[in-house]
Structure 1
Amino acid sequence: MTSNTGKSITSMQYIFIISGIQVSVSILSLPRDLADAAGTDGWIAIPIGYILSVAAGFIIVKVMQNAPEDTIFDLLSRLMGAWAGKCFALLLGVYFLSFMYDSLNRAILITKDWLLPNTQPYLLMILLLVPTYIVAKHGPQILGRYSEFVFFLSIWIPFIYLFTLENAHGLHLLPLFKEGVLPVLSAVPAMLYPSLGMVTTFILYPHLKNKEKAPINLLISNSLTMLIYLYITIICFVYFSPDEITLYNEPIVSILKSIEFRFIERIEVPFIAFYLFIFSLAWIPSAYIAAFCISWISGKKDVALPLQIFCIVITVSSFFFLPTFNQNDRLGLWIGWLGISIEYVFPLCLLVYIILNKHFQQRTAL
């Protein structure tokens, strides 16, 4: 049983946590990934990914409605035995720890590439992990407040990209379905990694103040994510030529070079520094959830010790090794396929199991 005293989160906080995990670091390379798969038709894959994401989110909420005050691990333990709860807690912990590590590495690679090329990775890791520990150890309520703070702090960013439209060419988007439907469908897998994050509902649902609003909250968070993805992807597609966009690792950063203000020479530099707040919406909640999973297995409520261990191990590892952009991309691909199993396949299978289990129990009672 989960104690939610003093740890409840509002609907708005829940929306921003989910959307923050989804957008954060993954948006940087999304236009390029979609262009690689389907050219400038790649943006059509975004609504398709949105539909799949919303459907998976609704299934997760439906599962959690069977145990509104319990964790998913308690529910699994009651349905299948203690071993099932512990196995899934371990799997989910590894998944979010990998997600945290991947996001941190990406942020450090971008920071070194654009801002601090001569700074050692482990120093950057320390600078990022100290606030991570401070925020994550306080649980969902502080995570929700932090996500709200970052959202309202960043709300002006989309308007800056409007300055790039004076060099845009809308004809890059036409005609639609240039090579048919198959390239667009092949771009849908590129949306899977940026759409991950709904599974945090397994952990956040017991802390929601208004649980009956969870479905509409998930719909709003995924809609917000889709609008952001569509907005930035279409801007990149109409600014860069179809061949040019695939040459940039982070098109949404490279496009900022075209913006000039009298009071600043390179606007992309302060933007990267500011983006670190947005990037942190991926690894800070992930750090908490990974620590929560480990603490549940050990039977303890305090997540501080697992968080300390994570931070120390990641910092020490960064002293010896930091993945390159290509290695980070491969790690993201692996996490994406693992995410499909955890966020799409597993909830559906679990919901079917719950329905069948209730059906057989009712028949036995009769």
Structure 2
Amino acid sequence: MKKYAYNEITLMQFICILSGAQVSVGLLALPQLLAQRAGTDGWIGILIVWMINLAANLIVVQVMKKYPDGTILDLLAHYFGPWAGRIGAVILAFYFFLYGYVGITRTILYVKQWLLPQTSAFKIMSLLLIPTYTIARNGIRIIGRYAELVFFISMWIPFAYLLTLKDAQWLYLLPVLKEGWLPVFHAAGAALLSFSGTGILLILYPFLLHKQQATAGVLISNTMSMLVFLLITLICFVYFTPNEIKEYNEPVVSVLKNIEFKFIERIEVVFISFYIFMFSLSWISTFHTFAFCTSWLLNKEDHRNALRVLCLLLALVTFLLMPTFNQNGIMERWLARFSIGIEYIAPVSLLMYLWLRKKKIKRS
């Protein structure tokens, strides 16, 4: 009997969870970061990181095929011993907590800046944690259904940005590779954090109902994220001048001021409200994964207690100290470095080890 059969998810839910973990708060500032490093050639960095991230995810799928009915923690315990599984659980729990914390605190900062400037961060955090716990406590299947819902109610957002193209200046994109490839590779480093989050695949894989569809799911989810990043970035690049875009902290929101409807005065407020649903996928899934890793470490089947403790700690920490935009940016940079080890180096190393191990067994 499958260990995680009671909580299996469909391919669509699998795709929405992975893509939702990527298309998060990093989207709003991405065009500015790319422009600062490579000018209007920064969009090429998105394609580079997409290919790298896709390759890394496909490697993760190949690693997980070696132990298809277990998570990466079960795989580590099976091949290296229980101590390796425990170490992996501690590292992954910290990584997913940091990813979720960066996402939820950045969302709170945006909400205070654009929607509720007079509301305390503690109150906003409490309001966000209530639905977070309600969804995450019921397991990955409910998270998958929520991700599907968010996907369908947010499908109109990228198309709404096309309304800004009436004032586009496509000549801003020319010439391509104005300063060569070096700034583009530098910009790819800025896009790395936006594509991170798929490390959740290490835990998510055994919950997929038909695991032979994992490769297709990874390809579709990464491509969906890439298309969203590319579309929004190009629109910002052709709307703002090459120098002007570097001055806007959230150009993805600022560009919306060009859209006018007779029945809505501030369209960007509506967009920010819908963005909260999209951003929530970056911390609901990762907080659940944190609770899963913690419960696995303590050999507990019920992850809800760990989730309750996490929510209480987050509320308490926010009451005592709320990071600023600069402090949140520092945490983002550390998270990007951490994600390189978790989502790129570790899967490649594991695949190489398992391949050499299999080869050695065949020789003996």
TM-score category (smaller protein) = over 0.9
Q: For residue 230 of structure 1, what is the aligned residue in structure 2?
A: 230
Q: For residue 93 of structure 1, what is the aligned residue in structure 2?
A: 93
Deviates more, 1:353-362 or 1:52-61: 353-362
In the alignment, the residues of structure 1 paired with residue 103 and residue 247 of structure 2 have an alpha-carbon distance, to the nearest angstrom, of 22
Q: For residue 6 of structure 1, what is the aligned residue in structure 2?
A: 6
Equivalent pair of 1:56/1:198 in contact (CA under 8 Å): no
TM-score of the superposition, structure 1-length normalised?
Answer: 0.98
1:199-278, aligned counterparts within 5 Å?
199-278=199-278
- What's the secondary structure of 1:70's corresponding residue? coil
Equivalent pair of 2:99/2:197 in contact (CA under 8 Å): no
Equivalent pair of 1:38/1:186 in contact (CA under 8 Å): yes
In the alignment, the residues of structure 1 paired with residue 165 and residue 72 of structure 2 have an alpha-carbon distance, to the nearest angstrom, of 46
In the alignment, the residues of structure 1 paired with residue 279 and residue 197 of structure 2 have an alpha-carbon distance, to the nearest angstrom, of 14
Deviation of 1:5 (Å): 3.1
In the alignment, the residues of structure 1 paired with residue 74 and residue 251 of structure 2 have an alpha-carbon distance, to the nearest angstrom, of 43
Q: 1:193 corresponds to which letter in structure 2?
A: L
Q: 2:110 corresponds to which letter in structure 1?
A: I
Deviates more, 1:290-299 or 1:202-211: 202-211
- What's the secondary structure of 1:159's corresponding residue? helix
Deviation of 1:72 (Å): 1.1
Q: For residue 351 of structure 1, what is the aligned residue in structure 2?
A: 351
Deviation of 1:2 (Å): 6.3
- What's the secondary structure of 1:29's corresponding residue? helix
Q: For residue 297 of structure 1, what is the aligned residue in structure 2?
A: 297
Q: 1:60 corresponds to which letter in structure 2?
A: V
In the alignment, the residues of structure 2 paired with residue 187 and residue 362 of structure 1 have an alpha-carbon distance, to the nearest angstrom, of 44
Q: Percent identity?
A: 49
Q: 1:353 corresponds to which letter in structure 2?
A: Y
TM-score of the superposition, structure 2-length normalised?
Answer: 0.98
Q: 2:291 corresponds to which letter in structure 1?
A: A
- 5+ residue gaps, structure 1, are none
- What's the secondary structure of 1:6's corresponding residue? helix
1:26-37, aligned counterparts within 5 Å?
26-37=26-37
Q: For residue 118 of structure 1, what is the aligned residue in structure 2?
A: 118
Q: For residue 171 of structure 2, what is the aligned residue in structure 1?
A: 171
Deviations 1:91-150 (A, max 9, x none): 000000001110010000000001111101000000000100010111111111000000
Deviation of 1:257 (Å): 1.1
Equivalent pair of 2:20/2:278 in contact (CA under 8 Å): yes
Q: For residue 154 of structure 2, what is the aligned residue in structure 1?
A: 154
In the alignment, the residues of structure 2 paired with residue 112 and residue 197 of structure 1 have an alpha-carbon distance, to the nearest angstrom, of 25
Equivalent pair of 1:86/1:297 in contact (CA under 8 Å): yes
- What's the secondary structure of 1:28's corresponding residue? helix
In the alignment, the residues of structure 1 paired with residue 48 and residue 5 of structure 2 have an alpha-carbon distance, to the nearest angstrom, of 39
Equivalent pair of 1:46/1:230 in contact (CA under 8 Å): yes
Deviation of 1:197 (Å): 2.1
Equivalent pair of 1:25/1:106 in contact (CA under 8 Å): yes
Equivalent pair of 2:105/2:328 in contact (CA under 8 Å): yes
Deviations 1:277-313 (A, max 9, x none): 0110100001100000000000011110111111111
Equivalent pair of 1:257/1:268 in contact (CA under 8 Å): yes
Aligned length: 364
In the alignment, the residues of structure 1 paired with residue 224 and residue 159 of structure 2 have an alpha-carbon distance, to the nearest angstrom, of 16
In the alignment, the residues of structure 1 paired with residue 195 and residue 154 of structure 2 have an alpha-carbon distance, to the nearest angstrom, of 20
Deviation of 1:71 (Å): 1.6
Q: For residue 181 of structure 1, what is the aligned residue in structure 2?
A: 181
In the alignment, the residues of structure 1 paired with residue 273 and residue 221 of structure 2 have an alpha-carbon distance, to the nearest angstrom, of 25
In the alignment, the residues of structure 1 paired with residue 12 and residue 5 of structure 2 have an alpha-carbon distance, to the nearest angstrom, of 19
Deviates more, 1:286-295 or 1:256-265: 256-265
In the alignment, the residues of structure 2 paired with residue 88 and residue 23 of structure 1 have an alpha-carbon distance, to the nearest angstrom, of 26
Deviation of 1:362 (Å): 2.1
Deviation of 1:198 (Å): 2.2
Equivalent pair of 1:2/1:71 in contact (CA under 8 Å): no
Q: For residue 322 of structure 1, what is the aligned residue in structure 2?
A: 322
- What's the secondary structure of 1:299's corresponding residue? coil
Corresponding position: 1:341 with 2:333: no
In the alignment, the residues of structure 2 paired with residue 188 and residue 159 of structure 1 have an alpha-carbon distance, to the nearest angstrom, of 25
Q: For residue 38 of structure 1, what is the aligned residue in structure 2?
A: 38
Q: 2:347 corresponds to which letter in structure 1?
A: P
Equivalent pair of 1:69/1:206 in contact (CA under 8 Å): yes
Q: 1:88 corresponds to which letter in structure 2?
A: G
- What's the secondary structure of 1:152's corresponding residue? helix
Q: CA RMSD in A?
A: 1.0
In the alignment, the residues of structure 2 paired with residue 284 and residue 70 of structure 1 have an alpha-carbon distance, to the nearest angstrom, of 21
In the alignment, the residues of structure 1 paired with residue 95 and residue 72 of structure 2 have an alpha-carbon distance, to the nearest angstrom, of 15
In the alignment, the residues of structure 1 paired with residue 45 and residue 272 of structure 2 have an alpha-carbon distance, to the nearest angstrom, of 27
